[in-house]
Amino acid sequence: MADSATASSPLKVIAGADSFGAELKDAMVSHLRSLNIEVEDLGITSYYNIGAEVGRRVSSATTSPSLETRGLLACGTGVGVGIFANKFPGVFATTCLTPDEARNNRSINNCNVLALSGMSTSADTAKEIVDTWLNTPFKAPCPASKSQPWPEEISNFFDESMNEMPKIGASENTQAETCAVCCLVKNRELNPIDIIPGGSMKILRESPTSAIIKFKAGSVEPAHHHTFGHCLLVMKGKKSVWNLSKKERYDLGDGDYLFIPAGDVHRVKYYEDTEFFLKWDGKWDMFFDEDLETAKIAIEKELANGSA
């Protein structure tokens, strides 16, 4: 069991899995809640979507003495989810198959997203891994240090690494002219979206799975849902997405990513001319749950009240 060290450091864990890690994730969510740890369970989807979503949320969370935010993921091997979580700054996701690996990765890498293997790790072993991950501080003695305190020079190196690692790649141009998505839409006219005023889109594939979409400032998407989950990446602009099913609001700007699960009802407001990349699984569909005027009134009321 986790010891009192966990209780003295308020913690929130954001969890998710793909179908191969679902059973193990559910068991670990129950275990964490039994320790009175707050858990936000994002459910189950593809390993790349759930890895990215947990990574995004841990990256954007404000870590303070009052609350630390970590992530817990599971897929077949535990590797795929970690790869995509690590695409977000400040995320140190590692796959751990044993408690010793969890102790090493907390000590050396300050691991804040734990990735588990649903195919090779039992629930009992996973509990030991999770407890070790919860209770091992950064720079603690670990098997890699032969269970001895780290020498001062190595301890200082670890501290400096936490400042240096987030800077890697930050100054590089991440939107080069050879970007495949940008090239697909460059110099091409987008077609109006008749069902939503102010919107236009360009399907990027003959068998539709992705599109570039633009909305004019002030546009509103009334509450609607899809039969397939979809991912979006804001290329430029500013928008808010209200997930009415989960009673959550996301304020998105340049470079922000969001995944909306299948069936979740959501409403959108565009504050600036906004362009984003959208990818979905399966055929394109859209089912409205309210009309445009009702949506505008609801959004104006919510923004006036300053509620999230």
pLDDT, block means (10 residues), the chain with 308 residues? 47 95 97 95 92 91 75 95 92 95 95 96 97 95 92 91 78 51 58 75 66 89 90 90 93 90 93 88 82 91 74
Spell out the CATH class of 9-165: alpha beta
Rounded Cα gap, residues 218 and 248, in angstroms: 21
Q: How many helices (H) and strands (E) does the chain have?
A: 9, 16
pLDDT in the model for residue 150 = 93
pLDDT in the model for residue 308 = 42
At position 62, the amino acid (one-letter code) is T
The 210-215 sheet, strands edge to edge: 191-192, 199-203, 210-215, 274-280, 230-236, 257-260
pLDDT in the model for residue 235 = 86
**How many C-beta atoms lie closer than 10 Å to residue 241's C-beta?**
18
pLDDT in the model for residue 64 = 60
190-304 shares the fold of 9-165? no
149 to each of 10, 96, 144, how far by Cα in Å?
Answer: 25, 22, 10
Spell out the CATH class of 190-304: mainly beta
pLDDT in the model for residue 62 = 58
Domain segments of the chain: what residues? 9-165, 190-304
Q: Which of 196, 201, 200 is nearest to 296 (CA)?
A: 196
**Token pair in block for residue 69:** 């935010």
This prediction's pTM:
0.58
Phi, psi of 163 (to 5 degrees): -85, -35
